[in-house]
Amino acid sequence: MVTRTRYYLSILEIAMLGWALTFLIVALIAGVLGFGVVAGTAATIAKVLFVVFLVLFVVGLLMGRRGPVA
């Protein structure tokens, strides 16, 4: 019998991914409008937040769901 475990994103992980996507959109818009410094800064922030999200996701995935401590 094969059991499947589901992984649910935590609130922190969802927030990190949301902020990363927000800064990515800001970087794209700033780049299109010609604001190079703003676009570069926003893109760097988006990259950092995305890496933090990935680290939290992998740690959460490896730790799995744990029951209450007795």
pLDDT in tens, the chain (70 residues): 555 556 666 787 788 788 888 888 888 888 888 888 888 888 888 888 889 888 888 887 787 766 566 5
What is residue 34's predicted lDDT score, i.e. its pLDDT?
A: 85
What is residue 67's predicted lDDT score, i.e. its pLDDT?
A: 58
pTM score of the predicted model: 0.61
Distance of alpha carbon 55 from alpha carbon 17, whole angstroms: 11
20 contacts 53 by C-beta, under 8 angstroms: yes
19 contacts 49 by C-beta, under 8 angstroms: yes
